[in-house]
Structure 1
C-alpha cells in the first residue's frame, strides 16, 4: 500500500524541495496539493506549484486554490528570502498556466478526499495553517479522519525568524495555528524552526546535490540561488544557521512523513500558540507542567538521521 499524502503548501524554495522529495518517493501517492498564502501571494504559489510539477513531469497531480489571506492577521510574505515571486525571481517564460488548476476550492477538496479515504491520508502542511483551520471549521470531524498530520512551523526555544519569538508560518496566521493545535487530535508531528536549523545541510552537500546536471538539479540550483546567497550573507550571521549550511525547513516535515525512521529523537508534549503577547504572538508554547490539561500531545522532532535525509534529497533531483 502506498502512503497517501495531501500536501498543503505556500510554494517557496523549500516547499518546492519538499514537493520534489515526495514525488521521488516510490511508496508515496500524492492525492492533491492545496495552496495557501504565505511565502508569496497565493497567485504566485499556484504558479510555482505548477512549475515544480512541470519540471518533474507530474502535471497529472491535482492542484487546488486555497486561502489567499490569514484568518485575522495582517498579510505578510517572505519575498526577501524566497524572492518576490517565491521561487528566486528566475521566471520561466514557458511556465504552465493557471487554467490547469482544479475548479473545486482547496479546503473543500481536502475534506472530500479525506472523507473518501478515512484513516488513510497523511496531511503534510508546510504553509501557514489557514487552509487547515478553515477545514476543521467547515467539517469538525475532519481531523479524526486523518491518519496523521505533519507540520513545519512553530518553535521550541522562543527563537524567532520573523518576529522576536515567532516562526514565519505561525506568525503569518497565528489564529490558524492556534485552531489547528487545539482541534486536530490525530497523530501530529512538528518540525520546528530550531530543529531545522540544527539539522541544516553543509554547503558542500549542496554543491554535490546540484552536481548531477539533471533537469531537476538545474531547476533547483536556479531557484535556490537567491535564498542560499541570503543564508550566507552578513545580515544572517546572527541566525543559528549562519555559516553552518542551508536550511531547507519544509523538507524535514516531508521527510518524516515519507519515512518516520528518519527521526531519531523526539518528545511528546501538549502545545498551544500565544495570540496576545506583544513580543510573543505566534510563538508555540510547550506545556511541560501540564497546566493546560490537554489530552492530546504532539510529537516534536528533535534529531534527524542526516544521511537518510540527504538520500531523500538526492533522489528528488534524479
Structure 2
C-alpha cells in the first residue's frame, strides 16, 4: 500500500480517492500553475507518457522534472541491463525522454548505488523518540529487511548501507543544492535488444542529434541529506 502494508486501525477511508485519472490531474495542475510545478517521478513513467500525448504542451508548463530511474553503466536491477522503473514500461520512458523538453534531472540506479546511507546512520535516524520516527520505523520494517539481504547489498557499490533511491530525486527537487556534481547529455531508451530492452542510452557522441539534454546526477551532498532526514522525523 506504499506504507509497508502495516495494519492501521484509523487508516483514511477509500472515499478520499478521486475519480480523476492521474494524467488529467497533472495536466490540470500545470495549466493552473504554469512554470511553477516541479514533477517528481519515482515509478514507471506511464502516466507521464499518457499526459504528453493528451496535451503535447504539458512539458512546457512544468518548471522541472526529476526522475528516479534508468541506468548509466548498463547495471540492471530487474534485467541484466535494465532498471525497474524503465523496464516496467520502456515505451513510456522513451516517450518521456524524447518529448519532455523541460529541465530534467535523473537519479539513475548506479548513482543511488554509489550514494547509500550507512546502517549506523539509519539506526540513529530511526532511534529518535518521536511519533514521526516511530511511524517511519513501522512502515520501513519490510523494506529494511529486504535492503539488508545479501542479494540487495551486492548492488551497493559504496559500502554496505541503505539505498533509498527515490529519496535522492525527491531531495534534489526540494533543493537542487543537494546535487554536487552532474553531467548534461542527451538520452534515450532502447526498445529492442535481447538483453538491453529498457536500458537508458547516453549519447556522449551526439549521434542522436537531440537538442534537449538532461542532467544526470553524479554525486550528492550526503551529509546535507542526512541532516534533512534527521530533521524530518523530529
The answer to whether TM tops 0.5 is yes
1:149 pairs with 2:83: no
1:171 pairs with 2:66: no
Displacement, 1:242? 8.4
Name the CA distance, whole Å, in 1 between partners of 2:231 and 2:20. 32
Q: Look up the match of 1:198.
A: 114
Q: Look up the match of 1:247.
A: 163
TM-score normalised by L of structure 1? 0.71
After superposition, give the CA deviation of every residue in 1:75-121 in whole Å (9 maximum; x if it has no partner): xxxxxxxxxxxx43422232111211233222111101101111111
Displacement, 1:277? 1.1
Q: 1:284 aligns with which of 197, 200, 221?
A: 200
Unmatched tracts of structure 2, length 5 or more: none
User: SS of 2:140's equivalent?
Assistant: helix
For the Cα contact (< 8 Å) 2:119–2:161, is it kept in 1? Answer: yes
The alignment's C-alpha RMSD in Å is: 1.4
After superposition, give the CA deviation of every residue in 1:5-50 in whole Å (9 maximum; x if it has no partner): xxxxxxxxxxxxxxxxxxxxxxxxxxxxxxxxxxxxxxx3xxx4xx
What are the within-5 Å matches in structure 2 for residues 225-244 of structure 1? 225-240=141-156, 244=160
For the Cα contact (< 8 Å) 2:115–2:158, is it kept in 1? Answer: no
For the Cα contact (< 8 Å) 1:236–1:242, is it kept in 2? Answer: no
1:207 pairs with 2:123: yes
Displacement, 1:238? 2.8
Q: Look up the match of 1:102.
A: 18
User: SS of 1:154's equivalent?
Assistant: coil
Displacement, 1:237? 4.5
Name the CA distance, whole Å, in 1 between partners of 2:146 and 2:158. 10
Displacement, 1:213? 2.4
1:270 pairs with 2:183: no
What are the within-5 Å matches in structure 2 for residues 31-46 of structure 1? 44=1
